[in-house]
Amino acid sequence: MHVLEWGPADGPAILLQHGNPTWSFLWRKVVAAIRARPGGDQLRLIAPDLIGLGLSSKPENVEAHTLAQHAAWLGEVLDRIAPGPLVVVAQDWGGPISLVAMATRRERLRGIVLGNTGVSPPAPTFKPTLFHRLSQLPLASTVLFRWLGFPLGVLHTSQGDRSTIRGDVAKAYRWPLRRRADRAAPLALARMVPDRVSGHPSIPQLAISHELFATAKVPLSIVWGTKDPILGRVINHLERERPDAKVVRTEAGHFLQEEVPEQLADAILDVAGRS
């Protein structure tokens, strides 16, 4: 697992966990904003690349990727490099993966900051999106994800401001997965999203993620991109679950780190201070 770090090795540890199909590059603006603030350069910022993405190892077998396995991989890395108190900051699949990893390490959890993510099993009224239905089609999904590199070429369409993932920035997201043989993870993580309300292998782990989110007695902040075409309305569910959370709604899209890094930095520094 490839990990980027900033700050002193003995500083308060902040996990910055991306999701699908991005990598630690996603956090660069947030890191810059944090480190420009008073005291921000004293935090230890830790940004791992999920296995299969970024500069981490890339198993070619789609079946190697499960929510339980990703949580186990992340948990092992955190035990090695950040075995003490930890604030979790996460977006997309980084949310449930981090929370499942911390469920067996909850005595170390000191705070949570969430961006656009889902941390719970599907509701009875759940309907899978077109994106996730496509990932379940055996032949079409292989062509779309592994041969054509979907969704890396269309990340901008999930943004409030589409110009934030264009040009060299868009190339930077595509670069770690430029080889077809390395593209198992985007398809696998799309398939990890439940396409039904029962019987999907991710559901038991999402229940663990939800339990920690709902019950953790730690400072909690949520920064949300309401222009996210997939998860924009999920904030309503999270607010009902945790009415004590500090919530900031923005006009950003799914990858809100590109659009509202200052608001995320504010939330992270606030939670770090309260923890």
Helices (H), 8-93: 28-35, 67-81
**Residue in 268, 275, 273 with CA at minimum distance from that of residue 90:** 268
**Residue in 187, 241, 179 with CA at minimum distance from that of residue 64:** 187
Which residue range is the domain that position 28 belongs to? 3-274
- pLDDT of 130 strictly over 90: no
CA angle 175, 151, 4 (to 5 degrees): 40
Which strands form 13-17's sheet, in the order they lie side by side? Answer: 3-6, 44-48, 13-17, 86-90, 109-114, 220-225, 246-250
The CATH number that applies at residue 259 is: 3.40.50.1820
Indicate the number of domains in the chain: 1
Q: Whole-angstrom Cα distance, residue 205 to residue 212? A: 11
For 201-216, give the DSSP string. Answer: TTHHHHHHHHHHHHH-
Percent pLDDT > 70 in the chain is: 100
- pLDDT of 194 strictly over 90: yes
Token pair of 116 as six digits: 């656009």
Is the pTM value of this prediction over 0.95? yes
Per-residue pLDDT reduced to its tens digit, 250-262: 999 999 999 999 9
Per-residue pLDDT reduced to its tens digit, 14-40: 999 999 999 999 999 999 999 999 999
